[in-house]
Amino acid sequence: MELFACRASVDFASRVIESLNKLRREGEPEIHLGALEVAPFSDGEFQPHFAESVRGATVYILQSTFPPADNLMELLLSIDAAKRASADKVIAVIPYFGWARQDRKDRPRVAIGAKLVANLLRAAGADRVMTCDLHADQIQGFFDIPVDHVYASRVFVPYIRSKGFRNLSIAAPDMGGAKRANAYAKALTTKNEECAVIICHKTRERANVVAEIKAIGEVEGRNIIIVDDMIDTAGTLCKAAEVLKGKGAASVRACATHGILSGEAVRRIHESALEEVYITDTIPHPELADDPKIRIVTMTDVFARIIDKVYNYEPISPDFIF
């Protein structure tokens, strides 16, 4: 096994390797982060280069493909370089799979970006993809290679339980998130108390701009956690929190796997009715390490465990909550 990281995910990969080394079986060598160098050109072009042999190796290349598009291009070039260097297998580990919101034609004359990226990864030479909380589960079907799709619920559910909230309800920020909210509610229901589901119905003026949100379900006196796969501009999230608080919620929090946090998102969260927001480290945000509202929960142990099991041909189904 050889594990490399593109430039946007070096810290995440280093912590995955720490977890992998804790999982080593007796007699197995210690894993190190391989040397992947990137030579830049003055016009912005760049060329990844493996500074050590990968001939015959199972190569894991780790990179989240959040904007800019350079991160995706760097991953594709690195996969191609590994295949041309005679790697036996190349597995793309993509904690955050960008372009996933473009998963269908929702209006005339638009691209299906998620399918295009799946084709690009296959064309570059990837033999397998590992990713987390795709925007739509059916994106797995866009690939003609195996996809290991893990869920952040593996870390979020225990984290929420550890907080000991009473009168807990899970809210979906839109109709599309109802399935996820229902799954969280089932996992957090105990013998003594049922965790209810609230659905927020939203209408949009245009992309990233919400016109109106209505909450469906019992809100008054409940401690509510809004669950989603990502937070981009935080417009929907903050408006939903305002609506829920206005209807008598005792508290409103949120958890989302991918903290894109573009534009004024962090400011909006700080000025909103949200008490806390939980995100994972699939997208790096070192500037938020001491943030008073935004808490970062790591996914590195989950990815280390999946990488280890896939490499050793062990079943990974016990690692899925939903």
What distances in angstroms separate CA 245 from CA 122, 178, 256, 258, one per listed residue?
46, 20, 19, 24
Q: Are 35 and 51 in contact (CB under 8 A)?
A: yes
Q: Is 300 exposed, middle or buried (0-12, 13-18, 19+ CB in 10 A)?
A: buried
Is residue 68 reached through a cis peptide bond, with omega within 30 degrees of 0 on the bond before it? yes
Q: How far apart are CA 306 and CA 300, in angstroms?
A: 10
DSSP-derived 3-state class of residue 293: coil
Structure token pair of residue 304: 């280390």
202 part of the active site: yes
Q: Are 232 and 177 in contact (CB under 8 A)?
A: no
Longest dimension (CA), the chain: 63
Tokens 């062990």: give the residue.
314
| Annotated catalytic residue within 83, 202, 239, 245 | 202
Helical (H) or strand (E) element with 115: helix 113-124
Strand partners, 228: 256
Q: Which residues are catalytically annotated?
A: 202
